[in-house]
A and B are shown apart, each in its own frame.
Chain A
Amino acid sequence: LTSIVTQATRQFLASMSYDDLTKSAGLAVVVILLVLLLQKEFARLHPGPRMTAWIHAFDLALVPLLVTFAIIVTARLAELLQ
């Protein structure tokens, strides 16, 4: 599985501490997550087949973002515990 991660990505990840990573990428994840969740909530206010399709599309994006968010928070807490 690690072979599909490019060398550049691995170097990028290795060059930064958890703190730096979670501050840069993590904040972007939080913002995108909140925007998508609100978009989904707004979409639910307009019932119809088109909006249902949008809601499914939002769900597809939200699940990995939520998992990423959980990992980020855990990493930050783990770093603080150390």
Chain B
Amino acid sequence: MAFWYALPMPSIERMPYLRAVWGTLPNRRRTVPPARLIGALGAAWHSDQRARSWPYGLLVLALGLWALGLTEIDVYRMNDFGLISVLPAPVLGALVLLTGGAILLLRADRPDVLAMLVYIVTLVVMLYGIPVFVEQVARSSVNWVHEGFIEYIRRTGAVAPSLEARFNWPGFFILAAFVADAAGINQPVAFANLAPVYFNLLYLLPLAMIFRAFTQDMRLVWAGLWLFALGNWVGQDYFSPQALAYFLDLVIVGVVLTWFRVAQPRSERVASWLRTRGLAGRAVGRLYGLATPDDERPRPLGAVQQMGLIAASVVTFAFIAYSHQLTPFFLTAGLLGLVALNRASPRGLPIVFGIMTVAWVSYMTVPFLVGHVAPLLAEVGRLGDTVGSNLVKRIQGSADHQAVVTIRLVFTVGVWAVAALGALVRLRDGRRDLSLIVLAVAPVPLLGLQAYGGELILRLYLFTLPMAAFFVAGLLYGRPSGAPSRPRRLLAGVAVSVVIVVFFVTRYGNERADLMTSAEVQAVDRLYAIAPSGSLLVAASNNLPWKFKDFEKYTYLPEADNSLVGQIDQITTLMADPKYPASYLILTRSQGNYAEVFLGLAPGAWTRFVAAVRASPTFIDVYHNADADIFVPSRRSALSAAP
């Protein structure tokens, strides 16, 4: 057994079993009886197994708590704070436990990859998978509208850009129709509640690439991923084009930062020229020096492989431009910033992306642009209006909902502020992550171009979140001082626990309105069964699971975010329009919830409104279930006899 002692210490240090055995030996220069050595090896093996298995034990405990908590959730008892109002303590406890386990795992210089991977996948499932288990059907009316687009493509084999603006960017819907056909899925919307889970899991892959481009410290990478999952409250990861486009955006950014970053972006010619231009030149030169810090060398890659990556990025971008209207602008702005400061080598890429975006918009979205160009151009430069529609107008609805919106705003600003602090701390530590800062700041001027229906700040938050998560995590990990001290880890654990609670308020704050029920879906199915083609379908608002089939065959009212709640006379007038062969009014539970949450309708007012419609001689109730009613105008009651 003498060879045993010849093993170099570093090798032993890397092997926990051997290290343990090494420690048990009384004299490392003396021969040890084989039986004793085998015994020591066995004991070490068991001890190491324990050391390796505790994270999984904790994980099982957290999962058990979470599952137990889910059984207690009654989504029908939610108030206007959303899911948090019915979320049992074990669910939150499970997440706190999981976070505690992750913090303990991150004590090691090289955290256990498998354990961290399992932990972060579990975190995503626990955060984003709850609706899968507690809601009957796909949440949010938008999912059902997207199902309608896919159904149209599968039925007709075409898109209808003049019927629906979103069909001018049909890539996602065509892909979803193809996948549904190939997989034999009848209604893809049945899987819509899973979308946030799989999209957030997908996001982790390019995010890890991006973070790895800026640090060798895997603790910082894992912590950044953890914070991204906890900070992604904006809910753009549902069954939608933007969710897929965001993933592809991250992939392209990851490719550029990993293989195409410029290690020495400073031009000595420019720097020396500035030095000769007097005081002002030297001041500009100093700024130039700050703006062009050296970067890590990119991973080495052959020219052919680089060509392949550029070509793949262009093809990927083509799909983004074909699928979503906003993502190309964010991605192009970010890359333009990197190229402008010479931090990425493919200088032509943002120009190619810009031309592709503009070409698609000017050639392929003409049905949308007709009638919209002037209003779109009118928004350019009206920053005040954009901020107003993105902030002030969102704070409306019930008092609870206003509180939710306020918490979202405070949380968003808080994340940005802490991230800025993290960037400064890393700067002080000598790490100039300018590329990440550029990527975070470059899309900000887009605020001056569009209000995007009051959603641009939300999208800005989403596109800056990867960088923000990295910088916030950088406050704790990736510091020159090494691993954080125990009090710091404890403080981080407490802070993350608070963020977990805030996450459920911000992410699921609209859940009462987003909740759709199977009874509502049955009612809409019934509506499509009895309404002849060309009918007018009226609801109090658009917040119900409709438009999921034959959407081009009917006229739907109200349009967009308008509301007809309480307006019986107006509904009567609209439904009396003789140009429609038949008119139907559908009132559902989710419309009532929407009116209370977003329009501030007083509790009980919806029930009174439905009762008034039922009692009105103008309408006949032709279908009724626990969550929905379908009415026809009384003089057209004959239509109700249709099968």
> Is the Cβ of A37 less than 8 Å from the Cβ of B348?
yes
A45 at the interface (CB under 8 A from B): yes
> Is the Cβ of A45 less than 8 Å from the Cβ of B307?
yes
- Listed from nearest, the 6 A-B pairs whose CB atoms lie closest are A41-B348, A45-B303, A30-B359, A80-B373, A76-B362, A37-B348
Task: Produce 1/0 per residue, A11-55, CB < 8 A to B.
Answer: 000000000000100110010011001101110111000000000
Q: Which residues of A contact B355 (CB under 8 A)?
A: 30, 33-34, 37, 69
B615 at the interface (CB under 8 A from A): no
Pairs A–B under 8 Å by Cβ, sample size 6: A38-B348, A38-B352, A44-B347, A44-B348, A45-B310, A77-B369
> Is the Cβ of B363 less than 8 Å from the Cβ of A42?
no
Chain B residue, CB-CB nearest to A46: B303
Which of A33, A34, A69: most chain B Cβ within 10 A?
A34
> Is the Cβ of A81 less than 8 Å from the Cβ of B374?
yes
B349 at the interface (CB under 8 A from A): yes
CB distance from B351 to the nearest CB of A (A): 6
> Is the Cβ of A40 less than 8 Å from the Cβ of B348?
yes
User: Majority SS of interface residues in chain B?
Assistant: helix
A61 at the interface (CB under 8 A from B): no
A contacts with B, residue count (CB < 8 A): 21
> Is the Cβ of A37 less than 8 Å from the Cβ of B307?
no
Chain A residue, CB-CB nearest to B345: A44
Set B311, B345, B352, B374: member contacting A37, Cβ < 8 A: B352
CB distance from B322 to the nearest CB of A (A): 14
Chain A residue, CB-CB nearest to B303: A45
CB distance from B266 to the nearest CB of A (A): 19
Chain B residue, CB-CB nearest to A72: B362
Known contacts A46-B303, A76-B362; is-contact A41 B346 (Cβ 8 Å): yes
* Cα–Cα, bound, A41→B339 (Å): 13
> Is the Cβ of A77 less than 8 Å from the Cβ of B303?
no
Q: Which residues of B contact A80 (CB under 8 A)?
A: 366, 369-370, 373
* Cα–Cα, bound, A41→B346 (Å): 7
**Known pairs A41-B349, A73-B358. 9 more at Cβ < 8 A?**
A26-B363, A34-B356, A38-B348, A40-B348, A41-B310, A76-B363, A77-B362, A80-B369, A80-B373
Q: Which residues of B contact A45 (CB under 8 A)?
A: 303, 306-307, 310
Q: Which residues of A contact B314 (CB under 8 A)?
A: 38
* Cα–Cα, bound, A80→B303 (Å): 43
Set B310, B345, B363, B370: member contacting A38, Cβ < 8 A: B310
CB distance from B498 to the nearest CB of A (A): 47
Which of A42, A45, A81: most chain B Cβ within 10 A?
A45
Q: Which residues of A contact B358 (CB under 8 A)?
A: 69, 73
Q: Which residues of B contact A81 (CB under 8 A)?
A: 373-374, 377
Q: Which residues of A contact B370 (CB under 8 A)?
A: 80
* Cα–Cα, bound, A27→B311 (Å): 20
* Cα–Cα, bound, A69→B347 (Å): 19
* Cα–Cα, bound, A26→B362 (Å): 11
CB distance from B237 to the nearest CB of A (A): 31
Which of B311, B359, B374: most chain A Cβ within 10 A?
B359
* Cα–Cα, bound, A13→B220 (Å): 61
